[in-house]
Amino acid sequence: MKSINNFITEFLEKKKATGTYRRLVGIGDGIDFVSNDYLNLSKSEELKLILNEELNRRPFKAGSSGSRLLGGNSDYIQETEDYLANFYNAEATLIFSSGYQANLAVLSSLPQRGDTIFYDELSHACMKDGVRLNFAESYPFKHNDFEDLERKIDRFGQGKIFIVAESVYSMDGDFVNLLKLVEIAEKFDAGIILDEAHTTAWYGINGKGLAIAENLENRLLTRIYTYGKGPGTHGALVAGNSELIDFIINTSRPFIYTTAPPDHQVALIKGATKLFSGEYGERKRIGLQRNMALFSEIAKRADFGLEMNLIDSKAPIKSIIIPGNERVDRVCEVLRADNIEVRPVKSPTVKKGSERIRVCLHSDNTKEDINKLFDGLTL
């Protein structure tokens, strides 16, 4: 065991020496520009009330006590999946404990040997990990570059073809051109797997995300909605036709061999959906849109100085590019000392030279909060 311990020590020392060492830092009481809680639902008293009402309607166990195929299933989770299917305009849905697990479940099971997957090069790590877990061939295409995608499908496409994309990408906050992607998929008889992680709750009518907003949901193979971001809770769901969901139930190892989500987590997913889809959620979405417009307006007047650039977007995700791991660390430390909660995103998570502070805006941020952030960045 000594050789293993030595390897671990040397690895960590190298990470520290290269500025890539990670450590866990709690979020304090400062101004939140770091969490994915775009609508501030995680702190909502209204959500707590809905959860308590839901839990008081029927007896609940503390845990599910098994996988869904071996004792962990319940009438309640199936009722909730039916409710979510109706909400997301799908024949069926399947609930998972996290977006990571949902992506692994879909991508590790649907593509088979002899098939081909084409995924955006900036797809989230969970999607790339899912791609690695099957026997299909896989190829990245340049970010949001559909000419490159078509060239690669022409050259490498074989068997069933799957296209993997996100509605909004988590680092730059840019949207996919979903209609164009659908047109390419239909040209090649391909199926699109769309991750709606960063549009759920805040984008579109009633917070239903990009695909439904553009009336394209029925032209996709499947959609994945994550509840640990905009909805402010935890978990995820896969939406699609009934046979696709049955296929996942019958083949997906991340679904078959894991303990089912407990009823209180399912109740949070259902409660958050009720909350963000109603009048309360609409007020929050209006507040978020106001802050996004305000951020862009202030950014136009800001003087960031040398080697610091802003990537603005039409999403709540904004990136301040500060090249160099040590440099972005130092800027974050200065901001946190001024009670501004931000975190660095360093290489190799992003390409070297594109290290950044990833700013997430929220419905409850104030004009004073945003001005204070820019004041700290332009010192």
Q: Kindly report, residue by residue over 102-113, the tens digit of the pLDDT.
A: 999 999 999 999
pLDDT at position 139, please? 98
Q: Kindly report, residue by residue over 224-238, the tens digit of the pLDDT.
A: 999 999 999 999 999
Local confidence band at 302 (pLDDT 50, 70, 90 cut-offs): confident
Domains and their CATH numbers in the chain: 21-39+279-377 (3.90.1150.10), 60-277 (3.40.640.10)
pLDDT at position 43, please? 93
pLDDT at position 297, please? 94
* pLDDT at position 305 over 90: no
Could you give the C-alpha distances from 115 to 131, 137, 258, in angstroms and in order? 12, 6, 26
Q: Kindly report, residue by residue over 154-196, the tens digit of the pLDDT.
A: 999 999 999 999 999 999 999 999 999 999 999 999 999 999 9
Backbone dihedral angles phi then psi of residue 128, each to the nearest 5 degrees:
-65, -40
pLDDT at position 26, please? 82
Q: Kindly report, residue by residue over 335-345, the tens digit of the pLDDT.
A: 999 999 999 99
Q: Kindly report, residue by residue over 215-224, the tens digit of the pLDDT.
A: 999 999 999 9
Summary mean pLDDT of the chain = 95
Is the preceding peptide bond at 348 cis, omega within 30 degrees of 0?
yes
Q: Kindly report, residue by residue over 119-166, the tens digit of the pLDDT.
A: 999 999 999 999 999 999 999 999 999 999 999 999 999 999 999 999
pLDDT at position 44, please? 95
Q: Kindly report, residue by residue over 261-282, the tens digit of the pLDDT.
A: 999 999 999 999 999 999 999 9
